[in-house]
Amino acid sequence: MINLQCDYLEGCHPFILQKMEEANLNKTPGYGKDEYCRSAAEKIRQACRCPHADIHFLVGGTQANLIVITSLLRPYQGVLCADEGHIACHEAGAIEATGHKVICLPSENGKITAAQVEEICQMHFESPIQEHMVQPGMVYISFPTECGSLYHKEELTKLSQVCKKYCLPLYIDGARMGYGLTSRKNDLSLADIACLSDIFYIGGTKCGALFGEAVVIVNPDYQKDFRYLIKQRGAMLAKGRILGIQFETLFTNGLYFSICKKAVEQAEILRAAFLRKGIQMYGESSTNQQFPILTKKQADYFAKKYIYETWRPFDQTHTIYRFCTSWATEQQEILMLLEDIENMPLE
Amino acid sequence: MINLQCDYLEGCHPFILQKMEEANLNKTPGYGKDEYCRSAAEKIRQACRCPHADIHFLVGGTQANLIVITSLLRPYQGVLCADEGHIACHEAGAIEATGHKVICLPSENGKITAAQVEEICQMHFESPIQEHMVQPGMVYISFPTECGSLYHKEELTKLSQVCKKYCLPLYIDGARMGYGLTSRKNDLSLADIACLSDIFYIGGTKCGALFGEAVVIVNPDYQKDFRYLIKQRGAMLAKGRILGIQFETLFTNGLYFSICKKAVEQAEILRAAFLRKGIQMYGESSTNQQFPILTKKQADYFAKKYIYETWRPFDQTHTIYRFCTSWATEQQEILMLLEDIENMPLE
Amino acid sequence: MINLQCDYLEGCHPFILQKMEEANLNKTPGYGKDEYCRSAAEKIRQACRCPHADIHFLVGGTQANLIVITSLLRPYQGVLCADEGHIACHEAGAIEATGHKVICLPSENGKITAAQVEEICQMHFESPIQEHMVQPGMVYISFPTECGSLYHKEELTKLSQVCKKYCLPLYIDGARMGYGLTSRKNDLSLADIACLSDIFYIGGTKCGALFGEAVVIVNPDYQKDFRYLIKQRGAMLAKGRILGIQFETLFTNGLYFSICKKAVEQAEILRAAFLRKGIQMYGESSTNQQFPILTKKQADYFAKKYIYETWRPFDQTHTIYRFCTSWATEQQEILMLLEDIENMPLE
Amino acid sequence: MINLQCDYLEGCHPFILQKMEEANLNKTPGYGKDEYCRSAAEKIRQACRCPHADIHFLVGGTQANLIVITSLLRPYQGVLCADEGHIACHEAGAIEATGHKVICLPSENGKITAAQVEEICQMHFESPIQEHMVQPGMVYISFPTECGSLYHKEELTKLSQVCKKYCLPLYIDGARMGYGLTSRKNDLSLADIACLSDIFYIGGTKCGALFGEAVVIVNPDYQKDFRYLIKQRGAMLAKGRILGIQFETLFTNGLYFSICKKAVEQAEILRAAFLRKGIQMYGESSTNQQFPILTKKQADYFAKKYIYETWRPFDQTHTIYRFCTSWATEQQEILMLLEDIENMPLE
């Protein structure tokens, strides 16, 4: 069986394990105050062209989201988010458990627009009974989105502007950041991301690490006391260096980008192959996740050799499925799948 | 410099890294539903002689504490705890952040007694205005305690009985469980721990793992839906197998116990050496942490060659310090320190 | 100006003030343990034909909702609710502030159906990654709904059945309960409400009291320790008797029902008058709130003599408005408005 | 029986009921935006000589405390408080339920000192692992304290200074403010209180109102968006005018002060009588609560004619009791008690 179910099936890029082994018996201070973390943070600051950013290494994405959002909001504020957003759907109420409402906006192709943010803010702040409603307190987006699409520079710039207008921090969930930045459709650099947002995280778990997400706090207004919240929410790793070592490795010689780029190219080829067969694709993913819309018969055909994810029903006779590539997907797996797409039943 | 500041200075036991490397490119399901976790859980159940226990692998101790406590308490209940307890002092208010009060009991040698629990429960449940106070909802203890001491079987049995009497679940924080179980002063087995408590965790981070704590839910009443809370608090590792691999390794051929035992023996020797010189020790630690009470002059003497932890002031002229051994402490480090203790200034 | 903006414009029914005066210098125990509360609770139990219900008197509706919901849910559970529900829209995130997600279901005429609850439960509990989502933990409905409509006995019975099937407590927000029970379209008695739900509250604030809501806990499983939460959420009135006196008065000689019935009849006449003029009404309110859909010109016409509430935009040229009657609305106010409806501009 | 158990046994001062009756059928806007609240706020601002203070009327003390504290703290901060403080002991964990730790300081005569605050802040902010501990975020004191004692101007000035030094807002719980301000031992005016604190509340419930506390936000930094929290915590009274009417009445012609002064004078006489008989008094209360330390025989003697509160055990043979006067205590009740004190058993 070839497993393309998700992008966290394996361990980590071999360079990371090698570095961990070399460092294994070195004694370092705990809680992320070690040399590996310092060096990794410096490399990320350089990659972001953001010398004054604060960098914190956390273990996972839900953890990063809940800590960042708790840190940014006042108790009566909520976070604006696409209705398909990860925090709205797949974090078991982690944000609500910190006391904050996730305010869902209808999304198209996984994205929300500056106009939507403008509208909800205007409506809220002009209402005579605004204090009876949750105050919009920040904007959360994902890059890439849940369905693999990308905000383009123009869209992100507009979002950034409307956020500034209403004093809402803009936070970008970059669980799959590497796959977004290396897409051929992408026109944003890491420096652009840093310039247009207040805070974001660079995902490691899905992009070559064993685990780990690097939170980048660009806006100095939000840097104060962040480590308290990391500790309080149970996210301060005693041996923090394991995070430092991983990101240090990924941000040396562009490893993070090269391994993600390969996966995105593999996914592009799959997408093209499905489209060539007339298969409709859900969303406009130009990254490592592809969502063919298949009949049961077609799905069963692939199920003989492939493990994939059932995304959600599409219509009476079709379902959306997800095929994922990753830094670890092998070229021959893709070639076999291409052949099978070529021969797939047409309905 | 010889570093004895804490027991999380290094990476992990080499067997673990080796196992991680072997498994690195295997594809497994995410979120702890893999074969490594299954096997590790089974080995732990056997070690606990508790075939029906639920086992969950979490990343760190504060995370384990806050999830377990949230899971056990009703919103108006608090957790009884020694005033020196980790949740009371060094978790940045993690428990309060879940909405619960940590109700401190004065402790002796780091421990609380069944009589104290009995007294506070009696007082509470007999009060005509009990609903104006936080209801005692569970008991938290550490084994070993913060200052390295141990509950003996008789003490734990009595605590367990009073907890049952008042329907309070008894939870044991075992961040250094391995060092406790292998102490020469200890009369409790892992099976006793499982038998006398409702829920506990076996610490990995400080006992040979890169990170990781194994929560053992003995009492079936508290097993339901625990994974929801793990996810909600950002503690569900996507590549959960990294935790499984570590505990699988530690609980194969008694590795967990043999590496901890060595550290405890080293610490015992240090303790004896200090006592021989007439140095007063804080608490009655029979585990891997030792707390000599030193003058500034004595501390400076050691500071030339050793890194240790400043614990807290003792009196006008003395301070409590902590020297820690671990699974990774080398025998020659201990020998050198023994010699230096032999030659230390006497005041 | 005639003010029909809402149903909490005045103080309280004169009988209540009179009773408060008579009792003013009596000395009673605090915190709701007085004779007035005891007697009021007994009268409510009788009105509900529910001799074993627990009754608690709270100050306001948001307070009642947040306490009840906190009391019923486990930390990882959410509350199912119509998308127009009060807790979803107009309580400033009070429920999220207790850590719980409000899971919105699309509503028709303000109501949700048993089928919707069934569907979301089935979907959730069959999902292999259910712990990544918020678990449905209870159902919240309003009677009457936000837009004045009513659940009929058959609908409520079905909702009750599906709730039982999935072990979800059913909670009814009865802020305007009196106006619902006395509607000509209503086929439910207070005893039916008690029989079909697990917990509900009978609204006082909008139905003749200065303030106050009577929470009725029918299901004994949810009765334990409720007073702790009342105290903890700052809702335990020191002079609780003020609540007891009010409900004692309202539930003597059917006062609660007679004063609400009058208001509903006044509203019915208004509705009929609007419909006669060809004005479309929003929703199918058969209670004391009526929602004509008016052009700007029509709204301006009424604004000269009447204060009403702007509800929300309907289409490009129309807006939904709310006219409310209450226990205190005078007959001559209604007569004047009827005449003005008769003469209103037709577009 | 003469009931001196507490100061919330009766309804309210008759002037208040009279005013409520006069206003009963007036129609006003809801949620505290009415003319009565506006006028009451203005009178309080004048009494505080603080023209720019924000005034909010809440229903009860626990409610006021939890809203103010939530409003002032960041999620990782705690509130410094005397170990006998109301929020530490008798609010059922209301503060912890908002996510914050109550950091107890040992108190003498119910009071904490500037030196204690200085010490804990210094210790915290100099610690290398400060983020592992709860950050001191504000100071809470009561005036008068739980045991009836008073901060003097010099003490409060020093507390205020140390708070400013560490940027900690100083909050004063004034549940019995009226009894404190009118004590003969008091050297603080309401204007001093406003000048030396950042936020405080003036208690109504125990000082002549049916219920109600007036929160005064002196420091403009803490005024923003306070109404959101009031609504979110279920504390926004629909008919807010009932609070306005009460405080408007109490702050007209010095009613608040004159009725409290009478009660304090009555209590002083009782204190003197007990002391004359050689009875030891707990604490140095110069306000309306007095705490004689009595033997069982003495307590039984009084129990024949008086209802009083059992405070807590004092030693093997003595218990602390509380006798309270209030705005409603009658002079003849005091005279009778004086006579009985005169004739009480001496052991």
ipTM of the complex: 0.97
Q: Do B96 and D101 touch (CB under 8 A)?
A: yes
Q: Which of D17, D61, D234 sits opposite C63 (nearest CB)?
A: D234
Q: Which of C71, C131, C230 sits opposite B227 (nearest CB)?
A: C131
* CB proximity list for C127: less than 8 A, separation 6 or greater: C133
B3: closest chain A residue by CA: A27
Q: Which of D132, D230, D231 sits opposite A231 (nearest CB)?
A: D132
Q: Where does CATH 3.90.1150.10 sit in chain D?
A: 2-7+256-342
Which whole-number Å values give the CA distances from C173 to B246, C206, C211, in the listed order?
51, 13, 15
Residue D122 has a pLDDT of 97
Mutation target to probe the A interface, by most A beta carbons within 10 A, among D33, D226, D228 is: D228
B68: closest chain C residue by CA: C75
Token duo for residue D91: 């609010």
pLDDT at C347 over 90: no
* Tens digits of residue pLDDT in C107-134: 999 999 999 999 999 999 999 999 999 9
Q: Which of D75, D131, D228 sits opposite A76 (nearest CB)?
A: D228
The third-level CATH classification (topology) of the domain covering B14-255 is Aspartate Aminotransferase; domain 2 (3.40.640)
Euclidean distance between CA atoms A232 and A236, whole angstroms: 8
- Name the minimum distance, in Å, from the CA of C93 to any CA of chain D: 6
The third-level CATH classification (topology) of the domain covering A2-6+256-342 is Aspartate Aminotransferase, domain 1 (3.90.1150)
Chain A positions touching C100 (Cβ under 8 A) are 93, 96
* Tens digits of residue pLDDT in C64-94: 999 999 999 999 999 999 999 999 999 999 9
Look up residue B100 and give its DSSP letter: -
Q: Do B99 and D101 touch (CB under 8 A)?
A: no
Burial class (CB in 10 A: 0-12, 13-18, 19+), C3: middle
Chain D positions touching A225 (Cβ under 8 A) are 74, 76, 131, 135
A309: closest chain B residue by CA: B29
- Name the minimum distance, in Å, from the CA of D226 to any CA of chain C: 12
SS3 string of B182-217?
Answer: CCCCCCCCHHHHHHHCCEEEEECCCCCCCCCEEEEE
Mutation target to probe the C interface, by most C beta carbons within 10 A, among D4, D7, D8 is: D8
Residue B135 has a pLDDT of 98
- Name the minimum distance, in Å, from the CA of A204 to any CA of chain C: 20
For chain C, the 3-state helix, strand and coil shares in percent, each to the nearest 5, are 40, 20, 40
Please state, rounded to an integer, the average pLDDT across all residues of chain D.
Answer: 97
Chain C positions touching D28 (Cβ under 8 A) are 9
Size of interface C-D (CB pairs under 8 A): 143
Which whole-number Å values give the CA distances from A170 to A195, B279, D183, in the listed order?
11, 57, 54
Q: Which of A96, A98, A133 sits opposite C89 (nearest CB)?
A: A133
Size of interface A-D (CB pairs under 8 A): 44
Q: What is the pLDDT along chain D (347 residues), one digit of tens a residue?
A: 999 999 999 999 999 999 999 999 999 999 999 999 999 999 999 999 999 999 999 999 999 999 999 999 999 999 999 999 999 999 999 999 999 999 999 999 999 999 999 999 999 999 999 999 999 999 999 999 999 999 999 999 999 999 999 999 999 999 999 999 999 999 999 999 999 999 999 999 999 999 999 999 999 999 999 999 999 999 999 999 999 999 999 999 999 999 999 999 999 999 999 999 999 999 999 999 999 999 999 999 999 999 999 999 999 999 999 999 999 999 999 999 999 999 999 98
The secondary element (H helix, E strand) that includes residue A141 is strand A135-142
* pTM check: above 0.90: yes
Q: Do B229 and C75 touch (CB under 8 A)?
A: yes
Q: Do D228 and A135 touch (CB under 8 A)?
A: yes
**Residue count of chain D:** 347
D238: closest chain C residue by CA: C8
Letter string b/e over residues C164-183, b meaning 16 or more CB atoms within 10 A of that residue's CB: eebebbbbbbbbbbbbbbbb
Whether B37 and B241 have beta carbons less than 8 Å apart is answered as yes
pLDDT at A27 over 90: yes
Q: Where does CATH 3.40.640.10 sit in chain C?
A: 14-255
Report the 10 Å Cβ neighbour count for D166.
17
Chains with ≥3 Cβ pairs under 8 A against A? Answer: B, C, D
B70: closest chain A residue by CA: A97
Residue A19 half-sphere exposure, CB side, CA atoms within 13 Å? 21
Q: Which of C92, C232, C241 sits opposite D231 (nearest CB)?
A: C92
* Tens digits of residue pLDDT in A55-76: 999 999 999 999 999 999 999 9
Which whole-number Å values give the CA distances from A47 to A19, A54, A190, B247, D271, in the listed order?
21, 13, 7, 36, 74
Q: Do D229 and A76 touch (CB under 8 A)?
A: yes
Q: Which of A11, A234, A239 sits opposite B239 (nearest CB)?
A: A11
Q: Spelled out in words, what is the top-level CATH class assigned to the domain D14-254?
A: alpha beta
- The string of DSSP letters for C224-250 reads TTHHHHHHHTT---TTTHHHHHHHHHH
User: To the nearest whole percent, how much of chain D has pLDDT over 70?
Assistant: 100
* Tens digits of residue pLDDT in B174-233: 999 999 999 999 999 999 999 999 999 999 999 999 999 999 999 999 999 999 999 999
Q: Where does CATH 3.40.640.10 sit in chain D?
A: 14-254
Mutation target to probe the D interface, by most D beta carbons within 10 A, among C4, C8, C66 is: C8
Q: Do B101 and D96 touch (CB under 8 A)?
A: yes
**Residue count of chain A:** 347
Chain C positions touching B70 (Cβ under 8 A) are 75
Q: Do B206 and A91 touch (CB under 8 A)?
A: no
Mutation target to probe the D interface, by most D beta carbons within 10 A, among B66, B69, B98, B101 is: B101
* Tens digits of residue pLDDT in B117-153: 999 999 999 999 999 999 999 999 999 999 999 999 9
Q: Which of C14, C61, C210 sits opposite D242 (nearest CB)?
A: C210
- Name the minimum distance, in Å, from the CA of C249 to any CA of chain A: 30
Q: Which of C17, C60, C234 sits opposite D238 (nearest CB)?
A: C60
B210: closest chain A residue by CA: A239
Chain A positions touching D227 (Cβ under 8 A) are 131
Interface of B to D at Cβ within 8 Å reads: 75-76, 78, 89-93, 96-102, 129, 131-134
Chain C positions touching B223 (Cβ under 8 A) are none
**Average pLDDT of the residues in C323-343:** 97
C58: closest chain D residue by CA: D234
Q: Spelled out in words, what is the top-level CATH class assigned to the domain D2-7+256-342?
A: alpha beta
What angle do the packed helices C14-23 and C241-250 form, to 10 degrees?
140
Interface of D to A at Cβ within 8 Å reads: 31, 70-71, 74-76, 98-99, 129, 131-132, 135, 225, 227-232, 236
Euclidean distance between CA atoms C66 and C58, whole angstroms: 11
Q: Which of B93, B100, B133 sits opposite D89 (nearest CB)?
A: B133
Q: Which segments of chain A does DSSP mark as H helices, in order?
A: 14-23, 35-47, 61-72, 86-89, 114-126, 153-165, 177-181, 190-196, 226-232, 241-250, 255-276, 296-303, 331-342
C61: closest chain D residue by CA: D234
Chains with ≥3 Cβ pairs under 8 A against B? Answer: A, C, D
Euclidean distance between CA atoms B331 and B346, whole angstroms: 25
Euclidean distance between CA atoms A108 and D41, whole angstroms: 49
**Average pLDDT of the residues in B291-314:** 97
